[in-house]
Chains A and B, each alone.
Chain A
Amino acid sequence: MNISCDKATAICDKSQYGEVTFRDRLKLSLHLFLCKKCGLYSKQNGVISKCLKKHKEFKKSMKCCLSEDEKTAMEVTLKDKNLN
């Protein structure tokens, strides 16, 4: 039996993380065979995943941390509270 577009795209989203059951994958394939809109969604979802993979590398390359000033300020606040 065919599933709704909402359900099909939900499975498609989950499949981007490789966590879809065999049964759900079959349901999705059948739906994609019948529905052009979701077919396009599925294709574009793959492109988005590719972009996100690049984005992940980009984010990793710009690791941020607390500045010395921020840590000093934190220390002051902490000392303040500790005394009271």
Chain B
Amino acid sequence: MTDAASRPVRVVLGDDHALVRKGLRSLIEACGDMAVVGEATTGAEAVEHGRLLRPDILTIDIGMPDLNGLDAIPLIRAQAPATGVVVVTGHYGPTDLRRALRFGARGYVTKSDEPEVLLLALRAVARGRYFLSPRVAHLVIEDPE
């Protein structure tokens, strides 16, 4: 990818709440280096968007109709292996984090985080890194003990 530096990071948003999608979209589009290329309102739609659009990043909520976000992660990973899945959720529990990471999420951000935390996450995952919200990172440090 010779134009990687100039090409915007392509993002698909998966959330059943319109206000959340709208908020995420304006935040992401204000950056200039990222573009929202699709929105999904169910887990199944997120899988379908992943397959058809092959975005760099797909953000996914956990509680969604049809197919929940956690169940959708392995399906997205199978359909679009190069897409980095970032969970954006109101859940901070150890079980959801554990499942999300095991099913292949590269990022985990909570809806209580500051906007700049989400942007750090999207940029890190677009670079092939992992990113965990400061609200959940203690769980991966403490759990193995």
* Chains A and B form a bound pair: no
